[in-house]
Each structure stands twice: as C-alpha cells, then as structure tokens.
Amino acid sequence: MNPTPDSPRTRRAALALGAAALLSACSAEEKGRSGDRNPPGPGPGAAAPDSPPSPAAAAARRPADIPGLGPRTRATIGARTRQALVVTGESADSNVCRAVLYERHPALGWRAASAVWPARNGHRGWSGHHLQGDLRSPVGTFTLTDAGGRLPDPGTELPYHRDPIYTLGGRNFEGEPKAGAFDYVVAVDYNRYPGRTPSDWGRPLGTRRGGGIWVHIGHGGGTEGCIGLPRDRMQELLRALRRAARPVIVMGPADALAR
C-alpha cells in the first residue's frame, strides 16, 4: 500500500529532501565566497592572460636597429639623430663599399630610405687613426652639417656653398678623370668646424690628422679619403638630408661597424 500525500511517512520524506537541498545550496554559496581553489583553466590553444610574450613577438614589437651595426657603433648615433648614411666597406684595405640612407621613425625604429648605392672610399682602405696623406678614409660616426659644390644647389636643406673653388681636374690613381667630382659635396665633420663651408681649412685636431673629408661625386676609383657616390645618388642624398633630422654618416669596414 502506497502512503498518501498527507501521511506522516510522506511528510517526513519531503522534509528530508528539503533539508538536503538547503544544505547543498549553502555549501555552494560558501564555496563561491571563499573562491574556487581549482578554477577551470583556459580552453585548448588559449594563452594565459598574464603570460609574457614570446621572444619572437617581443622582437617584432621592438624598434628596428640599423642592420650591420654592433652595440658600440649604435651608441655613437645620438638619440636625436633621425637620419644616418651608413657606408660599409668590404674590408680594412678595400676601397669598394656600399651606402644606404636610413631614417628613424618614433615607433618603427630605423628603416632604409634609399636603395643600396655603390660607393668608393679611400684608395688604401680605412683607418681608425686617419693621418694626412694616408689615402685611407677615417672610421667613425660624424655629423653632416654643410654642403656645397661647383653647380647650383640641387635642393638641399643643408647650408649650400656654391663656388668655383670646387672645380677639379687631373686624373686619379687608376687613371680615371676627376673632373666634376666636386660638382656636389657634403662635408663630413671629421677634423673640421661644423657650420663652416666645406672648403674651410680649419683643423681642430691639427693638420697632421688630415681633413677635407667629403661625400662627393665618384670618379670610378678609390679616393684620397672621401666617399664617392654616383652623380644621381649624390643629388638624391642632398635632397633627402634635413637639418632638423641631425644627419650623420657612419662609415668603416663591415667588421669594425659590427662591433
């Protein structure tokens, strides 16, 4: 015989079920207040919200450096400099090199602003202690503040000194004519006073340490210490350089620049 809904047995069973439900609800509430000691983890493939970025992701977000320059060389470029002409020689005794103009962007870092230009340096290569007449280009980072040439200003923001004094004749070491090499020049601020014309012969380190180091139009061979660029690339450089960008030239053989 089944108990009726109002029988004592039925009432006792209902009270027992209600108490069990109440205890279960209280236990769940208490667990919620104290915190779940074993919360469910992220689903498959989900990244932990506070995990550090991978080295590759961190490197991708870091502003880019100029390729080929080591920490010592990078440290010579001022924090406010936003243009750098990097001239990289093949070796310490080679007069064949390449040049690339870089610009620094606030978020992206350094980016190439030109193609790779063929260039020539000192006839005997490079020197970390340039001397007058050694036919080597000085290694280092130097500001670019003044320009000039025999021809009219092609449109540079640098102070431009036009003068017949930049007329050049004769032949170079390999027999190539030097005529027109100084039609456009940018003075490299090695052993000179920035803010003066490229033709100024003031030498703060003394005449023994040489001077008159320029970027000029190449004549097809090694130079007496300057950097030679093709004529159209020289015009491109002059039009690209901006005074407000505090341009520099970083020059030397590849192994020296990588330090």
239-251 pLDDT, tens digit each: 999 999 999 999 9
Amino acid 61: pLDDT: 67
**Bridge partner list, 177:** 171
| For range 16-26, the mean pLDDT | 42
Band of residue 93 on the pLDDT scale cut at 50, 70, 90: very high
State pLDDT tens for residues 140-175: 999 999 999 999 999 999 999 999 999 999 999 989
Amino acid 138: pLDDT: 98
Q: Known catalytic residues?
A: 216, 226
| For range 197-218, the mean pLDDT | 97
**CA geometry: angle 242, 246, 247, nearest 5 deg:** 75
| For range 114-137, the mean pLDDT | 98
Q: Sketch the domain layout of the chain as residue ranges.
A: 64-257
CA within 13 Å, CB half, 92: 7
Residue 112 has pLDDT above 80, yes or no: yes
Contact 55, 214 (CB under 8 A): no
| For range 34-45, the mean pLDDT | 47
Q: What is the pTM of this model?
A: 0.78
As a whole number, the mean pLDDT across the chain is: 86
Band of residue 14 on the pLDDT scale cut at 50, 70, 90: very low
Residue-wise DSSP of 133-157: TS--EEPEEEEEEEEEESSPP-S-S
| For range 81-96, the mean pLDDT | 98
Band of residue 53 on the pLDDT scale cut at 50, 70, 90: low
Amino acid 64: pLDDT: 95
